[in-house]
Amino acid sequence: MANATKEQMPEVVAIFMVRLPRMLWALFTSYLRMKKQAKLAGNEFYRTLVDNGMPPSMARELRDEYCNMVSLSTIMKSWGKQK
């Protein structure tokens, strides 16, 4: 694609226009699945902590901190730190 000529540019743009919405939708649904899995895992984590004697308020704080690690802003910040 880096070697695309001016004649090929409309075709390249058309390909992006067709594929980009599908790619964004796939990315969005993957993110939602990841959030759902994190929430389920957080609830299991909470139940385990409470069952083993931790006060519910402290277990809730730890669960919330765990679930917030899978936020879009946290992911974007971690990408920014890598570069």
Domain chopping of the chain, boundaries: 9-82
Q: What is the pLDDT of residues 28-58, one digit of tens each?
A: 999 899 889 989 999 999 999 999 999 999 9
DSSP letters along the chain, please? -TT--TTTHHHHHHHHHHHHHHHHHHHHHHHHHHHHHHHHHHHHHHHHHHHTT--HHHHHHHHHHHHHTTSHHHHHHHHHHH-
Predicted confidence (pLDDT) at residue 83 exceeds the cutoff of 60: no
Q: Is the pTM of this model over 0.95?
A: no
According to the model, what pLDDT value does residue 8 have?
A: 82
